[in-house]
Chains A and B, each alone.
Chain A
Amino acid sequence: MNAGGGGRIATDVGGTFTDVFHIENGRATSIKRRSTPGQFEKGVASALAAGGVELTGIDFFAHGSTVVINNLTERKGVTTGLITTRGFRDVLEIARGNTPDIFNAYYRKPPPFVPRYLRREVAERIDHRGQVMVPLNQDELLSTARQLAQDGVGAIAVCFLHAYANPAHERQAHEIIAGALPDIEVIASHQVCRQWREYERTNTTVLSAYVLPAVRAYLNGLQSDLSAAGLKSDMLIMQSNGGLAAVEAAAANPISLVESGPAAGVLGAAAYGRKIGERNLITLDIGGTTAKCSLIRNGEATIAREYHIEKTPATAGYPISTPVVDIVEIGNGGGSIAWLDPAGSLHVGPQSAGAEPGPVAYGRGGRQPTTTDAHLLLGRIEPRKLAGGDGPPDLTAVAGAFSTLAEPLGVDVLDVALGTVRMANANMVNALKLVSVNRGHDPRDFTLIAFGGGAGLHAASLAGELEIGKVVIPPHCSVFSAWAMLALDPRQDRIVTSMRRLNADCLPWIVDTFANMERDIRREFSGNAAMSGEIACLRFLDVRYRGQEHSVEVPFDPAADDMERLLDRFHSVHEREFSFRLESPAEVVNFHLAAISRGPSASAEPQDAAGAGNASIAATGSRPVHFDGHGELQATVFERSALGAGAEIHGPAVIEEPDSVILAPPGASASVDAWGGLHLRLRSA
């Protein structure tokens, strides 16, 4: 770890860019390089080489990766077999039977990842209380697994009914298959999910098996490449719950990496917030194709248990039951395309020009106007400093692209550009409301923390719309997810379904259940160097009124809580989220334990802001810029890297850094904190 005072590195591999953040001898460097799809691990090595990073002096190496989501969305996983309880092999294909595109009689159901002929059944049965009704037929299991092997599967998923309540049969099955077929990967549902709902759990297990060989090869390959290049420490892997795990643990539960990079950003925002004394934050991460929002209360991010890939308003997609930082993602980023529907209404996104061809301004063949193009026309991005394009943008072509929208609307080109930005803002405001207002939180009680390449251009306007008084743009904001990995603690989440009515006698049961979960999790932590720090546990109960299906998450503290306090808390959380409370009895559904190793890695300090405390030294000139609701104003331009701690800026201003631009509207004032973060205070505050 950091004991030797050596260097620390975090690498975040996205679909488009590989980001590296490196701290050594008090000096921080960020590197951004194009990713290398197909061989993402090579991209890491080349980005490190490009930055001239010497690995021998590194004693902390964190890694986030898109490898899982990439294997899933491009269908590059291994041929997978599924073994289920007799009578239930088709659960994977029946799914939930729903048609999200409700009027569409020509709907196409998403096909399962395992075709029917590779789905097999064995005799066994455990009931919902965990009692064995029919013992596992081990001979049948073994011959079934051998048949699947003959049919050419590279991995086998095992999912038995009610295994969340008692995984004994799944454990036996796993042991038998692993023993008999050492060349085939096997994974059972209880290893990835301990919650009820058989379709969601089966699908999660199947997707885990599907990516397992690729993930293991990727992680082992990367680790050995890095070792060969001189890295002496073990790599830590970023998980979707915001925790860091050792390579072996990550490979054993590969689906836990599904939202690796974005989770780091949200948890990093929470960590940064703790440093600057902001414990209630709404996070906003704007990239090329999407914007992602999340909410942090009392310094902690929310972990969701329901996650989907490929789900849209028109298709059901595939559910994954794994703890994922609760992120709302919408198809609005810098590359989002502005377009008119047949009735002449303007829309922005979710179609994106992506990195190729990219916005019109990139000059690589893009013809449809994007949000980035709109910012250019509005003077917000200095044309010479546009990142990502081939040479200076052709502004005539950009204006021409907008004129195809302006003519049918009967307005001029600048109006459409402004309209495009306003529509994009409106979409993002709706997403920000989904994580705040819709869950009973008033955005005015929060600070907006914005990062990713496009965040600085929108943050102030969005905050204005939501009457948020303060915006924080952290340092290194365009590689913030990588930065974040150096500020995070290793973390493990466990969720177990176990139902019981809440009354005075069940307090010991609750305390015991958590104690057992804690013991298991500590056993996993022990012997793992990365998790040697002090372990702090957070405990949550999913509670609902008897008769309800959906529950609310209620924090539980075994040291301080009695049943009365727990129930009071439940009623008030329920009222906040659902607008009413009832006299009905309450019941527990799930136990959720989060164990966080507050280790030395947490001491990773961001580098102090090194520039001048006097902002005027960082000013490089001024130019006309269009601000929402103010029209065109002459704005002072600042170079962010030259701004030191304590520097003060007054809007209208533009603050530039290599991969992003921050707008400070008229009336706003900005100051720089000790780590280089920019705090923007808006006039309405």
Chain B
Amino acid sequence: MDQDIFTREIIKGALATIGQEMFAAQKRASMSPVIYETLDFGIGITDAEGRLITQGMGIPGFVGALDGAVRDVLDKFGAADVHAGDIFMTNDPYGGGGTHLSDVTLLKPVFFDKRLVAWVANKAHWTELGGANPGSFSTTTTDVFQEGLQFPVIKLCDRDTVNTGLTDVLRANVRLPDMTLGDLWSGIAALRVGERRLAALLEKYGCETTLRAADALLDHGEQMVQEAFDRLPKGRFTARDCIDSDGLGNGPFDVAVEIRIDESRFVADFSGTAGAAPGPINCTRPALISAAREVFMGIVGAGISANDGCFRALSVLCPENSVLTATRPAPTSSYFEAMVAAADVMRRALAPAMPGRLTAGQFGSVCSMVLSGNRSSGGDPYILVQPLVGGWGAGADKDGENAQFCVGNGETSNIPVEIQEARYGVRVNEYALHDAGAGAGECRGGLGAVLEYEIRDEGVELSTFFGRGKTPPAGIAGGMPGSVNFAVVISGGAESEPLTMASRVALKHGDRVRLYTATGAGWGSPRQRPAEALADDLRNGYIAPAQAWRDFNYRGP
């Protein structure tokens, strides 16, 4: 009797559970809000060669980031120099799975009977890695050397012995050493949990059976994706968009895509995209591939967790050294803006052909911000790093979502106001939906948000990383564009010009910072919006009477 197919299913389930467990371990042990609230990290298990078997992650942007790092370790060290108890470390933005220096990958080989059978790995945004700017990412760097410490695929642990020289270097070069070392330890905690669980699984079911199940898991991913392919539209789909600025005043930078889908292949060709920017908004090829994978998983909607097998049908083409495929030593610390632009332009190309699965344009930026200073009570330094919620685009049969993190930011969660006030030297005066009077349509775009800080200390600095500061998100099928993202500083009653990519703006006690995120774009003609939906919009203040009349020709109930 063939029970083996069920054993295989059980092992597949156990592998997925191990991924979730590693994810939970890292989240709970971490010291960085970027990890435990923003969930800017991912974990994964690969086979001995680095093919992704299973993952647990908060944001989809790291899908495919870990397998490439394993291959880099194997290329550099060779299997002969990989031992039980080793831990490797890399943050090379241009190498396998690279994004920016802040994202550090830790990798641990798993042995069974002295044979290398798998890898457990994680990649996490560490809050501080030194460099020219607090928080180690900025809008103004012009090469990688200004952006922080580089770990070019190195051994952190050799057969269970931590390289204390390296941890001392870390401690000496970063602004918040306890937090950085805490990030390191939480990453190691996740690897240990993963290694232990995987060893128990191998012990229980035997090496061959377990590895066969892992292979089957990859085949299953491929089959599920292939199955979903039948539902995809076939043909060529093109779109063009732009990144407004690189932080140094250059721009706009064109981002173009042609997507070609046939019965079994999905090709995303970014030819026609602008060359690398002087400022740090570039992403590298590995990040571009991650962006394409994220979009691909979303539109096939296979309902499974991603693994290497899911992507066998996907190809990504792009000329070298573009704003999406920057090469050393181009700056990449704000890489997420180019990555979001790449994902958004793909969705824009496909959305008209995929109503009910894709939407009109979203606020389209991670809208990251950094506030750094020293608390007046106690003098402890703090760095508040967080992305912001904004408006999603309308769908063919639903309004855009209000105040969500950028599409593709996954489980990222906001930092509660009560925790921010207790932990950082700020007061929050308002956290609310913001009606920008845009995004009209039969289905309307979701509202962005406004967040107001009142500064309580001297010597505070603000940086903003807001994309879509000039070019609003585009509507579909007669839907109107959304609005743009911006911030203003109010100091002594005077309001600043709108800020988008602002670096280290000096703030003093009593200054107020208002951060506005955009409304998403609409879908369908505003004149088609039902009167009862408009009455509800007015009653709830989602739109103002003036806009109801101007865009919807509606005067109220």
- Shortest CB distance A134–B (Å): 11
Interface size on A, residues (CB 8 A): 66
Report Cα–Cα, A73/B13, bound state, in Å: 29
Identify which of B6, B186, B193, B422 gathers the most chain A CB atoms within 10 Å of its CB.
Answer: B6
Identify which of B297, B358, B402, B428 gathers the most chain A CB atoms within 10 Å of its CB.
Answer: B402
**The residue from A91, A99, A499 contacting B422, defined by CB atoms under 8 A apart:** A499
Query: By the criterion CB–CB under 8 Å, are B2 and A547 in contact?
Result: no
- Chain B neighbourhood of A427, CB < 8 A: 13
Is B224's beta carbon under 8 Å from chain A? yes
Report Cα–Cα, A556/B414, bound state, in Å: 32
Query: By the criterion CB–CB under 8 Å, are A423 and B6 in contact?
Result: yes
- Chain B neighbourhood of A579, CB < 8 A: 25, 29, 188-189, 192-193
Report Cα–Cα, A531/B455, bound state, in Å: 50
Query: By the criterion CB–CB under 8 Å, are A584 and B182 in contact?
Result: yes
Query: By the criterion CB–CB under 8 Å, are B224 and A341 in contact?
Result: yes
- Chain B neighbourhood of A161, CB < 8 A: 417-418
- Chain A neighbourhood of B414, CB < 8 A: 94, 96-97
Contacts of B533-554 to chain A: CB distance below 8 A: 539-542
Which listed segment binds A: B79-87, B255-263, B272-280, B430-438? B430-438
Closest to A631 in B: B1
Closest to B421 in A: A128
Contacts of A408-431 to chain B: CB distance below 8 A: 409, 411, 415, 418-419, 422-423, 426-427, 430
**The residue from A103, A411, A499, A550 contacting B29, defined by CB atoms under 8 A apart:** A550
Identify which of B24, B417, B419 gathers the most chain A CB atoms within 10 Å of its CB.
Answer: B417
Report Cα–Cα, A173/B429, bound state, in Å: 21
Query: By the criterion CB–CB under 8 Å, are A107 and B404 in contact?
Result: yes
- Chain B neighbourhood of A345, CB < 8 A: 9, 12, 220
Query: By the criterion CB–CB under 8 Å, are A97 and B182 in contact?
Result: no
Query: By the criterion CB–CB under 8 Å, are B29 and A580 in contact?
Result: yes
- Chain A neighbourhood of B186, CB < 8 A: 578
**The residue from B405, B416, B419, B427 contacting A99, defined by CB atoms under 8 A apart:** B405
Which listed segment binds B: A108-116, A140-148, A593-601, A656-664? A108-116
Closest to B190 in A: A579
Is B33's beta carbon under 8 Å from chain A? yes
Is B294's beta carbon under 8 Å from chain A? yes
- Chain A neighbourhood of B59, CB < 8 A: 102
Report Cα–Cα, A90/B414, bound state, in Å: 14
- Chain B neighbourhood of A415, CB < 8 A: 1-3
Query: By the criterion CB–CB under 8 Å, are A580 and B188 in contact?
Result: yes
- Given A196-B416, A548-B182, do A105 and B188 touch, yes or no (CB 8 Å)? no
Contacts of A64-117 to chain B: CB distance below 8 A: 87-91, 93-94, 96-100, 102-109, 115-117
- Chain B neighbourhood of A548, CB < 8 A: 29-31, 36, 182
Query: By the criterion CB–CB under 8 Å, are B413 and A196 in contact?
Result: no
- Given A109-B404, A423-B10, do A547 and B416 touch, yes or no (CB 8 Å)? no
Report Cα–Cα, A417/B60, bound state, in Å: 37
Query: By the criterion CB–CB under 8 Å, are B298 and A105 in contact?
Result: yes
Is B143's beta carbon under 8 Å from chain A? no
Is A679's beta carbon under 8 Å from chain B? no
Proximity string of chain A (526-542) to chain B, C-beta cutoff 8 Å, 1 when within and 0 when not:
00000000000000000
- Chain A neighbourhood of B223, CB < 8 A: 342-344
**The residue from B408, B418, B539 contacting A198, defined by CB atoms under 8 A apart:** B418
Is B452's beta carbon under 8 Å from chain A? yes
- Given A105-B407, A198-B417, do A545 and B37 touch, yes or no (CB 8 Å)? no
Query: By the criterion CB–CB under 8 Å, are B413 and A418 in contact?
Result: no
Is A572's beta carbon under 8 Å from chain B? no
- Given A104-B301, A341-B224, do A98 and B412 touch, yes or no (CB 8 Å)? yes
**The residue from B197, B224, B401, B421 contacting A107, defined by CB atoms under 8 A apart:** B401
Query: By the criterion CB–CB under 8 Å, are A87 and B429 in contact?
Result: yes
Query: By the criterion CB–CB under 8 Å, are B418 and A128 in contact?
Result: yes
Report Cα–Cα, A115/B297, bound state, in Å: 33
- Chain A neighbourhood of B408, CB < 8 A: 105
**The residue from B398, B418, B449 contacting A197, defined by CB atoms under 8 A apart:** B418
Query: By the criterion CB–CB under 8 Å, are B418 and A162 in contact?
Result: yes
Is B410's beta carbon under 8 Å from chain A? yes
- Chain B residues touching A, range: 35 or more
- Chain A neighbourhood of B407, CB < 8 A: 99, 105
- Given A94-B414, A579-B189, do A88 and B432 touch, yes or no (CB 8 Å)? yes
Report Cα–Cα, A128/B405, bound state, in Å: 26
Report Cα–Cα, A499/B422, bound state, in Å: 9
Query: By the criterion CB–CB under 8 Å, are B9 and A97 in contact?
Result: no
Closest to B1 in A: A415
Is A60's beta carbon under 8 Å from chain B? no
Contacts of B241-298 to chain A: CB distance below 8 A: 294-295, 297-298
**The residue from A97, A199, A433, A547 contacting B404, defined by CB atoms under 8 A apart:** A97
**The residue from B5, B29, B227, B417 contacting A343, defined by CB atoms under 8 A apart:** B227
Query: By the criterion CB–CB under 8 Å, are B28 and A578 in contact?
Result: yes
- Shortest CB distance A313–B (Å): 9
Identify which of A98, A164, A347 gathers the most chain B CB atoms within 10 Å of its CB.
Answer: A98
Closest to A419 in B: B6
- Chain B neighbourhood of A545, CB < 8 A: 31, 182
Query: By the criterion CB–CB under 8 Å, are A109 and B297 in contact?
Result: no
- Chain A neighbourhood of B14, CB < 8 A: 426, 430
Is A577's beta carbon under 8 Å from chain B? yes
Report Cα–Cα, A90/B448, bound state, in Å: 12
Is A191's beta carbon under 8 Å from chain B? no
Query: By the criterion CB–CB under 8 Å, are B357 and A426 in contact?
Result: no
Closest to B417 in A: A198
- Shortest CB distance B423–A (Å): 9
**The residue from A102, A106, A115, A580 contacting B411, defined by CB atoms under 8 A apart:** A102
Closest to A550 in B: B28
- Chain B neighbourhood of A584, CB < 8 A: 178, 182
Query: By the criterion CB–CB under 8 Å, are A87 and B10 in contact?
Result: no
Query: By the criterion CB–CB under 8 Å, are B433 and A117 in contact?
Result: no
Proximity string of chain B (39-55) to chain A, C-beta cutoff 8 Å, 1 when within and 0 when not:
10000000000000000
Is B403's beta carbon under 8 Å from chain A? yes
Query: By the criterion CB–CB under 8 Å, are A426 and B9 in contact?
Result: yes
- Chain B neighbourhood of A87, CB < 8 A: 428-432, 452
Query: By the criterion CB–CB under 8 Å, are B298 and A127 in contact?
Result: no
**The residue from B37, B220, B409, B433 contacting A549, defined by CB atoms under 8 A apart:** B37
Report Cα–Cα, A109/B359, bound state, in Å: 14
Is B27's beta carbon under 8 Å from chain A? yes
Closest to B29 in A: A578
- Chain B neighbourhood of A419, CB < 8 A: 3, 5-6, 9
Is B151's beta carbon under 8 Å from chain A? no
- Shortest CB distance B548–A (Å): 15
- Shortest CB distance A158–B (Å): 16
Query: By the criterion CB–CB under 8 Å, are A438 and B24 in contact?
Result: yes
Query: By the criterion CB–CB under 8 Å, are B182 and A547 in contact?
Result: yes
Proximity string of chain B (10-26) to chain A, C-beta cutoff 8 Å, 1 when within and 0 when not:
10111001000100110
- Given A422-B6, A433-B17, do A577 and B28 touch, yes or no (CB 8 Å)? yes
- Given A128-B418, A422-B10, A438-B21, do A117 and B540 touch, yes or no (CB 8 Å)? yes
Is A683's beta carbon under 8 Å from chain B? no
Chain B positions near chain A (C-beta within 8 angstroms): 1-3, 5-6, 9-10, 12-14, 17, 21, 24-25, 27-31, 33, 36-37, 39, 57-60, 178-179, 182, 185-186, 188-189, 192-193, 197, 220, 223-224, 227-228, 294-295, 297-299, 301, 306, 347, 356-359, 389, 395, 398, 401-405, 407-414, 416-419, 421-422, 427-433, 449, 452, 539-542
Top 3 closest A-B pairs, CB basis?
A: A102-B410, A87-B430, A343-B223
22 CB < 8 A contacts A-B: A87-B428, A88-B432, A91-B417, A93-B403, A94-B414, A96-B413, A97-B404, A98-B413, A102-B60, A105-B299, A106-B395, A108-B398, A115-B540, A117-B540, A127-B421, A343-B220, A347-B9, A411-B1, A547-B182, A549-B37, A579-B29, A582-B182
Q: Apart from A426-B10, A545-B31, what 15 extra A-B contacts exist at CB < 8 Å?
A: A97-B389, A97-B414, A102-B57, A103-B298, A104-B298, A117-B539, A117-B540, A347-B9, A415-B3, A426-B14, A547-B31, A548-B30, A549-B30, A550-B29, A580-B189
